[in-house]
Amino acid sequence: MSDYYRACASIVVFRKTQDGKVQVLLLHKQRKRDAWQFPQGGQEEGESLKEAAQRELKEEADVSVHVLGTSEKVYQYDFPASYRRFRPDNVCGQRVQYVFARLKDGETVQVDEDEIDDHMWIFPEQIGKHIRRKKYLGFALMLLEEGQALL
């Protein structure tokens, strides 16, 4: 079997503060590098992008959202060789697709404390403090601009 990219769904969740400013949700994975990210996870067979993104968000942060739309942009990356050594399959990386959503009123983030150990709501202009990989940061900035246009 040849190598392939795992289908991954990610969700960019926005909320508005009491003074009308926009914030976005970041989750913290329990690892040393590149730990802050948008909620994401594998898309299961037969599951739509929107279904997968909402399921992952519910599993990781226990919140519900109003879906605003999807992005045509895709972020694809290769797993490092050190990580691939431990995979028993031919998955060489991930192909991440994105959904945009707004947090439902009254929802409060509760991370799963297993895969995700923390969360934060940030203003879009703060994202560079938390996402450091340049290629992904540039991509995240484009997503934030695209998603905010749907609010």
How large is the average pLDDT for residues 72-92? 90
- What is the pTM assigned to this prediction? 0.94
> What span, in angstroms and rounded, lies between the C-alpha atoms of 100 and 59?
17
Element (H, E) at 78: strand 65-78
pLDDT tens for each residue of 2-59: 999 999 999 999 999 999 999 999 999 988 777 999 999 999 999 999 999 999 999 9
Q: List, in order of start, the domains of the chain with CATH numbers.
A: 4-148 (3.90.79.10)
State both tokens at 128: 């560079």
pLDDT tens for each residue of 126-137: 999 999 889 999
